[in-house]
Structure 1
Amino acid sequence: MVRVIVVDRLTKSYGSMVAVNDVSFSALPGQVVGFLGPNGAGKSTTLRILAGLTLPSAGSATIGGLAYRDIPNPASQVGTLLDASAFHNGRTGRETLKLAAMTMGLPDSRVQQMLEVVGLTDQEAKRRIRNYSLGMRQRLGLAAALLGNPRVLLLDEPVNGLDPAGIHWMRGVLRHFADNGGTVLLSSHLLHEVEMIADHIVVIGQGRIMAQGSTEQLVGGPGTQVQAGDDAALGQALTAAGLVARTSTEGGLYVQAEPEQVGLIAAQHGLALKELRRAGSGRLEELYLQLTAGHDRGPIAPTTGGPR
Structure 2
Amino acid sequence: MKVRIIGVPMDLGADRRGVDMGPSAIRYAHLQQRLEENGIIVEDGGNIEVPNPESRKIKDEKLKYLHEIVESSERTADAVSGAIEDGFKPLVLGGDHSIALGSVTGVSRVLKKIGLIWIDAHGDFNTQDTTPSGNIHGMILAASLGLGHEALTNVGGFSPKVLPENTVLIGVRSIDRDEKRLIRESGINVFTMNDIDQCGMRNVMKKAIKLAGGGTAGVHLSFDMDVLDPMVAPGVGTPVRGGITYREAALAMEMLAESGIIRSLEFVEVNPILDRGNETAKVAVGLIASALGEEIL
TM-score (norm 2): 0.32
Q: Which has the larger radius of gyration?
A: 1
User: Which has a greater percent of strand?
Assistant: 1
Please, what TM-score do these two structures have when normalized by structure 1?
Answer: 0.31
